[in-house]
Structure 1
Amino acid sequence: MSYVVLARKYRPRTFPEMVGQEHVVQALTNALSSQRLHHAYLFTGTRGIGKTTVSRILAKSLNCVGPDGNGGITASPCGVCQPCLDIDAGRFVDYTELDAASNRGVDEVQALLEQAVYKPVQGRFKVFMIDEVHMLTGHAFNAMLKTLEEPPEYLKFVLATTDPQKVPVTVLSRCLQFNLRPMAPETVHVHLDRVLQAEGVPADAHALRLLARAARGSMRDALSLTDQAIAYGSGKIEEAGVRQMLGSVDRSHVFKLVKALAEGDGKTVVDISDQLREHGWSAGSTLEEMCAVLQRMAVIQAVPGSADDGDEETAQIARLAAAMPPDETQLLYSMCLNGRAELGLAADEYAALTMVLLRLLAFKPAQKKTLNDAAPRAAVAPARASAPAMTTSAVAAPPGRVLPVVEPKPQRVQPTARPVPPGGRTGSDVMGVPVRVQAEPTRETPAPATAYTPTPEGDFWHGLVQELIAREAVTALVRELALQSQLVARDEGHWMLRVERESLNQGASRERLQAALKAAGHDVRLGVEVGAVTDSPARRNNAAAAARQKAAEDIILNDPFVQDLMRDFGARIVPGSIKPH
């Protein structure tokens, strides 16, 4: 007897045998038990998850006559009566399957509908099953609309498609639609284990886990891959053979990659990438495995108690989760996910893989630096440390503004290898001015966007930013950087800004803002750190807007005429309808 592939041999023949589609099974079982039958059903979902299978079971349920020949419509077809046997064998005359992928024209559909006028020959119902119905032409859909809406009482339509978006709405509205779900890897794993036990094939649990993941939610694909794995392994399924067959990457290499990325070890990353090339392992599989590991790391970081300490692989993932910050885990996951789509764009997928991994290192969040870490302040610090009595004076600000600052009495600083400042002054003519650093706020939660705490540098920075915006010197992301930042420190030639979001701290935006400041007469070098912001131009603008809105609302609410309307007629002010001029 010829060999029957696993996908056909273990095709479910009753509703209880179906795996992973409990919601569809329950709905159809209840409908059949109560005999509340629709005339047209539409089953949607990806390939290999049971659309044709559930159609055949439904046809058997409608036509089963039981072992004694006296049965009726049932949710549990017997499987031994003549209609059940004929439907399983594909020779039941009243059950017709039409493949719309190869019979998509109006002529084929009309030929099918011509049979609708004849009553069933053997069964209780005629069942027309149209697979991949979305591939029918527009004329073919139009030809079947009337019959689909009002078929004879003995006719049932069953439609199946992998792309319901292409099915006309006029057809969808005439059908009872069921969405079959892709199966979880755990569900596929359990079913494969059951099938292989029935076949007497020894299988490694890790190998079955690889097959279940490779199936991508399709049980038919999982069984087909299992057939291939049995042949590859000469009658047994082992992890090493399955990895070689699928081109999957050993998780140990993925763990080493993630560890190297967490430590910023670029040499190890490149070395592992070269090893993957030598072994012929798939670059796409590498990124997929990394995504899977990073996803589990993120879950463990968010829910520490979710790790299974008994599983060595989970324990290793938990150690990696402890070694990498949660925000970096999210960044790596996003880059791996997007990098998977880029592999096909490169002539060499391993070179593309290396670039994706190096990109992860390039975008690895750097250590935050404060103003005191910068080298140019070394010559100023002694002057600040030994500063005598202080005097108050003023420094030039943008036109029309004077900013009070505190500075020591003039002290000559020994000239160093410093550039000649604008105006022709040499290094020996430059006075040392102490760095003014604002203390970090003690509160951990950010202040509301409409509240701010005035700071000594806030007035100057707000006025300067407003001037740049008015002259359209900054736009787009540069404008947002200026608005959302707080000036926390200034000295000659160097300003330090603070932002709350790392996304604003981009090199290109910083350089463009620095160029705009230079054009405005402030030839300084900008530094940006990430931290809590309490006084930014955006917060000041929001506070001013909120104050104007409050004043406008008070004017309306305190108006005697408005109060009379509200008191005498129950009038109310529509929220959001008051806008200040």
Structure 2
Amino acid sequence: MSYLVLARKYRPRNFSEMVGQSHVVQALSNALGTQRLHHAYLFTGTRGVGKTTISRILAKSLNCLGTDGQGGITATPCGVCQACTDIDSGRFVDYTELDAASNRGVDEIAQLLEQAVYKPVVGRFKVFMIDEVHMLTNTAFNAMLKTLEEPPEYLKFVLATTDPQKVPATVLSRCLQFNLRPMAPETILEHLGQVLQTENVASEPQALRLLARAARGSMRDALSLTDQAIAFGSGQLQEASVRQMLGSVDRSYVFQLLDALARGDGKSVVETSEVLRLNGLSAASTLEEMATVLQRMAVLQAVPGIGAGDDDSDPEIAATARLAQTMPADETQLLYSLCLHGRAELGLAPDDYAALTMVLLRLLAFKPSGATTATAAAGGAVELPKKPQPDRAPVAVAAARPAAAPAVPVPPAPATRPIVEQNRPPALAGRAPPAPDFVAKMEASMPPPWEDAFPSVAPAPASAPAEPAVAVPAPLAVPVPAAGISPLGDAWTALVNRMVAAEMIGALARELALQSELRSQADGVWMLRVERESLNQPAAREKLQLALQAALQDSGQAPRLAVELGPVGDSPARRNTAAAQERQRQAEETIHNDPFVQDMVREWGAKIVPGSIKPLAPAAGKPI
């Protein structure tokens, strides 16, 4: 007897044997039980999820005669009557399967529809099953519309497609549509275990996990790969042989790479990449496996204790959890993004392994600094702690300085006036123009709140030919206006916004400046505090320091930067965000309270489009 492949041998014969499609099985079983039957069904889904299988089970349910020959429509076909066995073997005269990929013209559809006028020969219903229905031509679709809408009571249509977007809406509206979902790896793993136990084939759990992941949601692909793996392993399924057959990368290499990246060990990264090249392992598979592990790490970091979708017997969970604790969450997200983009670049490189090495080196290049950070200054380096000191009370500003601090230039505030354009309807031509204070109200909503909160740092008059230097007052002279607001924050915010507007800093240096808090100025060293270690990179500090020295050259200052990690309560980014929100609130309040706008709403039914009110952009050098 010839060998029957596993995908055909273990094709489900009834709804109870269906795997992973309980939502479709429940709906069809209930419909068959109550005999609320639709005349046309459309099954959609990726390859190998059971579209054709469900069609055949449905045909058996409609035509089953029962073991005694007296059965009727049922959700549990017997599988032994003449109708059931003929449908399983593909020779039931009243069940017609049409492959629309090779019979896509109007002539083939017309020939099929000619049979619709004849009643069933031996069955209870005629069933027309059209597979890959999206391949039909437009004329073929049009030819079947009338029959599909009002078929004879003895005729049922079953359509199947992997691409429902290509099916005309006129066809979709005539069908009852069911979407068959891709199967989870755990579902495929469980089913493969049952099949191999029935086949008496020895297997390793990790080998089955590899096959379940490689199937990518398709049970037919999983069974076909299992057939191939049995032949490759001489009747056994071992992890090493399955991994070799699939060309997939051993996860141990992936964990080695991620561990080396977490430690910043470039030598181990390059050596592991060379081992992958010597073993002929796929570069694309390496990046794919790395992205998979990083995704599970991100889940564990966001929701500790979640197993990321695997069962407790998976030995890789412990290694993933260890890496999740070692690597910062923002670094995990960055590495995941770089792995995804690196896969797209493999085809552009001279060879895959060169591209893989460059992606790994890029991951290493973007890693934040290590245990200590040094200030890039002309006179030397300032050692800073890597981790913040959460139990240390905030340093009192009053005891940190002498009577005065260095002068920090603050940009001028050029006066701006918003432009208000109005299209008045003809019926309102005789009405009075908008209230004279309308523009004034709009302008009043523009000043950033930090100017009012810190009058001592107000910008110099716009008529000055050069940017004047405004001294930062002594910490004792300026009380802290609110909790979390630093007395040096107003001057630091003005200086950072001026450098950003002048494009003196960019990329990571800009983010470091915007996200940092100026904590102190002592002996020519400006101490900044940031929350994220990824911002504290030597290159970013050096660029920011050079920009500061250029911005303060007129005042004769050449500050050196030092950066520490810790909670940030006052930063230019937070002030700019608060200022933008306040300007937006004031702009919306001004528009809604304007008498002219209220007249338009009340008398003409006008509406203010949500999100259409935008405050004017602040002047150069002011918060964004």
Structure 1 length as normaliser, TM-score?
0.77
Confirm whether residue 375 of structure 1 aligns to residue 377 of structure 2. yes
Q: Which residue of 2 aligns with 1:532?
A: 568
- 8 A contact 1:465–1:537 mirrored in 2: no
Matches within 5 A, 1:12-31: 12-31=12-31
Output the amino acid matched with 1:292: T
Confirm whether residue 316 of structure 1 aligns to residue 319 of structure 2. yes
In 1, the alpha carbon distance for the partners of 2:127 and 2:591 equals 73
CA 1:575–1:279 in 2, change beyond 3 Å: closer, same or farther? closer
Q: List runs of 5+ in structure 1 lacking aligned partners.
A: 382-386, 408-435, 442-446, 567-572
Match of 1:359 among 358, 362, 369: 362
Output the amino acid matched with 2:197: Q
Describe the superposition over 1:80-129 as per-residue Cα deviations: whole angstroms up to 9, x where unpaired: 11111111111111111111111112222222122212221121111111
In 2, the alpha carbon distance for the partners of 1:34 and 1:174 equals 21
- 8 A contact 2:41–2:176 mirrored in 1: yes
Q: Which residue of 1 aligns with 2:328?
A: 325
CA 1:250–1:80 in 2, change beyond 3 Å: closer, same or farther? same
- 8 A contact 1:232–1:245 mirrored in 2: yes
Matches within 5 A, 1:430-579: 453=485, 455-456=487-488, 458-459=490-491, 461-462=493-494, 465=497, 469=501, 481=511, 484-485=514-515, 488=518, 518=550, 532-536=568-572, 539=575, 542-543=578-579, 546=582, 549=585, 553=589
- 8 A contact 2:192–2:223 mirrored in 1: yes
CA 1:535–1:185 in 2, change beyond 3 Å: closer, same or farther? closer
State which drifts further: 517-526 or 138-147: 517-526
- Report the Cα offset of residue 215 of structure 1: 0.9
Describe the superposition over 1:260-279 as per-residue Cα deviations: whole angstroms up to 9, x where unpaired: 11111111111111111222
Output the amino acid matched with 1:546: E
- 8 A contact 2:489–2:517 mirrored in 1: yes
Instruction: Give the 3-state SS of the residue equivalent to 2:378 in structure 1.
Output: helix
- Kindly tell me the number of residue pairs found equivalent between the two proteins: 524
In 1, the alpha carbon distance for the partners of 2:259 and 2:402 equals 54
Output the amino acid matched with 2:575: R
- Report the Cα offset of residue 509 of structure 1: 12
Q: Which residue of 1 aligns with 2:53?
A: 53
In 1, the alpha carbon distance for the partners of 2:185 and 2:382 equals 63
- 8 A contact 1:14–1:76 mirrored in 2: yes
CA 1:119–1:352 in 2, change beyond 3 Å: closer, same or farther? same
Q: List runs of 5+ in structure 2 lacking aligned partners.
A: 384-399, 412-465, 603-607, 617-624
Instruction: Give the 3-state SS of the residue equivalent to 1:403 in structure 2.
Output: strand
Output the amino acid matched with 2:188: V
Q: Which residue of 1 aligns with 2:7?
A: 7
- 8 A contact 1:295–1:333 mirrored in 2: yes
Larger RCO (alpha carbons 8 Å, 6+ apart): 2
Instruction: Give the 3-state SS of the residue equivalent to 1:375 in structure 2.
Output: coil
In 2, the alpha carbon distance for the partners of 1:190 and 1:361 equals 39
In 2, the alpha carbon distance for the partners of 1:213 and 1:492 equals 60
CA 1:321–1:535 in 2, change beyond 3 Å: closer, same or farther? closer
In 1, the alpha carbon distance for the partners of 2:264 and 2:347 equals 27
Match of 2:338 among 331, 335, 353: 335
Instruction: Give the 3-state SS of the residue equivalent to 1:156 in structure 2.
Output: strand
Instruction: Give the 3-state SS of the residue equivalent to 2:97 in structure 1.
Output: strand
In 1, the alpha carbon distance for the partners of 2:487 and 2:371 equals 22
Q: Which residue of 2 aligns with 1:135?
A: 135
Q: Which residue of 1 aligns with 2:258?
A: 258
CA 1:198–1:98 in 2, change beyond 3 Å: closer, same or farther? same
- 8 A contact 2:33–2:75 mirrored in 1: yes
CA 1:232–1:205 in 2, change beyond 3 Å: closer, same or farther? same
CA 1:466–1:284 in 2, change beyond 3 Å: closer, same or farther? closer
Instruction: Give the 3-state SS of the residue equivalent to 1:127 in structure 2.
Output: strand
Structure 2 length as normaliser, TM-score?
0.72
- Report the Cα offset of residue 45 of structure 1: 0.8
- 8 A contact 1:495–1:524 mirrored in 2: no
Output the amino acid matched with 1:291: A
- Report the Cα offset of residue 484 of structure 1: 3.8
State which drifts further: 255-264 or 33-42: 255-264
Output the amino acid matched with 2:218: S
CA 1:169–1:499 in 2, change beyond 3 Å: closer, same or farther? farther
CA RMSD of aligned residues (A): 4.3
- 8 A contact 1:452–1:535 mirrored in 2: no
Instruction: Give the 3-state SS of the residue equivalent to 1:305 in structure 2.
Output: coil
- Report the Cα offset of residue 344 of structure 1: 3.2
CA 1:146–1:251 in 2, change beyond 3 Å: closer, same or farther? same
- 8 A contact 1:482–1:513 mirrored in 2: no
- Report the Cα offset of residue 401 of structure 1: 3.6
Q: Which residue of 1 aligns with 2:97?
A: 97
- Report the Cα offset of residue 527 of structure 1: 5.9
- 8 A contact 1:458–1:486 mirrored in 2: no
- 8 A contact 2:248–2:286 mirrored in 1: yes
In 1, the alpha carbon distance for the partners of 2:15 and 2:139 equals 35
State which drifts further: 541-550 or 178-187: 541-550
Output the amino acid matched with 2:470: L
Q: Which residue of 2 aligns with 1:404?
A: 471
